[in-house]
Chains A and B, each alone.
Chain A
């Protein structure tokens, strides 16, 4: 379980998140809505442990451990993984090597890449000249290799064309055990009972909801969370009233 209690975060002395409470139970996927600059990515980075996001109050626990000040790589080892929106290019590091790093070496990289239709990219430098869709598929491939228990997705549908959107959406559903891999077709009920993976997805458009059945949705507005409810309902509300309606909830 991921548990965030009354979290306050600063970057360069400026408060960017406050009074954040969030609880994600095993098997649950949450969706985070919010306008640009509301602090969604900052929340993901804070959970992942980026040092420039300084926790000044509150606490983050994962699997019963206080991880508030745990270094980033230890969180990764504990089972937190992230799919970035715009990851940096690393020249000379092949995508194949990165996938292998994520899996700590114990994996058939080609076989895994086939699942996201990404074999052709394995010998390219990581993220070098990748298109929007290619970046997302590479990020998902890395997550598949890492196989973390909590997955953070930063706008998985941004910059992705319609065709790739389906690949991205379906892959996320597989990662979060919302669907089973074709080779291990399981009854839905069994799938639900066995589901342990946790997800936190940032979305602007909500397109991802067409592929991933999210359990809960929340709106992050001006550094604060509000409106814990059914994600579809929130999306409809935002469509009709815009984010200004969320301000009323927070006040």
Chain B
């Protein structure tokens, strides 16, 4: 059961606990004091400066709210806008949820352990806010709900906790962006996310990150999928960041549950990425897939993947491809762990450069060498994600298109 004191106590004990992987961040260098911002009505969102709107759009947040099922917008530590446009879909700030709703306690810190490391501890001890998005049983979201965590204050430590629930038979799509304002250089984002995909529910969660050069990012997320449920988890990061480390984990808790992770990462010089995905297949009929595409333009990328097959009649595949374009390193670490006879698990990993043969093929159709290279890179990054609504596919393509301009 939910016990505030117990959580606080555990968090306090873990307050200085280093993460098991990734460079350690000294949280004392950042300021976690609340930064008040006033709430904005729907129509006010459109009055945000053009430059700010552009940055939001690149992280999937459309202030016009066209083709969106709801919006959550947090600036620094304050929620400045939050509402749902669809019946059966709830969008609310987590602090409000904790104050007003008993049911949230069945989810809060239920999958992620509060004493995992100093970052989870910080998210409990210094929680600013975060979102709760819930699709009620049987409801289907027509348009994705958009959630944005915006960093505007230099040197801020932003602590958020998010909970996403797709109740039985529901279908929920979420697009979430983390963005820093144009002037900001340094800050840290600590984000705990817990995903609950109930029986026969479907959840697609697409996260687009747009960080700044000196940002540190430590997301901590765990998901669980019940019988017949589907969890699609997409992650896109194409902008520089000082250090990003995450290892989202999902447990397939019912038979025929499916999880798919897709990540697209472009690593810029001076950036360090340590990313992974871990899926536990615990019931017959479970399926899991982890697909990662990484490009390094001089950044350092570690791409991990870990599939654990605990019972027979499961199927899992891991694919990790990396392209080194302008220096840097890509370290692919695919892991398959079969714990029972009758598991079917495979992986393919490749790190290399663009084949000259492909470039000349395109050049012989009239493209210059640069055009040919960028066409191949775009193709490399465009992963077919089954089950993703076309609007979200378009958002991903847009993000790829945008980064293409910087890359070439």
Chain A residues packing against B (C-beta within 8 Å): 48-51, 71-73, 75-77, 81-82, 84, 87-88, 90-93, 97-98, 101-102, 104, 125, 142, 146
Contacts and interface: CB of A to CB of B under 8 A. Distances in A.
A104 B382 contact: no
Contacts of B64: none
Contact of B365 (A49, A50, A92, A98): A98
A102 B378 CA distance: 17
* A-B interface, 4 closest residue pairs, ranked by CB to CB distance from nearest: A92-B379, A93-B379, A76-B366, A73-B363
Interface residues of B, number: 22
Interface string B353-388: 001011011111111110010011011111100000
B364 A88 contact: no
A40 to B, nearest CB: 17
A76 B358 contact: no
A87 B379 contact: no
A76 B376 contact: no
A101 B367 contact: yes
A96 to B, nearest CB: 12
B368 A73 contact: yes
Interface of B: 355, 357-358, 360-369, 372, 375-376, 378-383
Given A90-B379, A92-B379, A84 B361 contact: yes
Contacts of A125: 379
Given A50-B360, A93-B379, A101-B375, A88 B366 contact: no
A76 B363 contact: yes
Contact of B361 (A49, A51, A88, A91): A88
Contacts of B376: 90, 93
Contacts of A101: 362, 365-367, 375
29 contacts: A50-B360, A72-B360, A72-B363, A72-B364, A73-B363, A73-B366, A75-B364, A76-B363, A76-B366, A84-B361, A87-B361, A90-B358, A90-B361, A90-B362, A90-B376, A90-B379, A91-B379, A92-B378, A92-B379, A93-B375, A93-B378, A98-B362, A101-B365, A101-B366, A101-B375, A102-B365, A104-B366, A125-B379, A146-B366
Given A93-B376, A93-B379, A101-B375, A88 B358 contact: yes
A76 B11 CA distance: 65
A88 B358 CA distance: 6
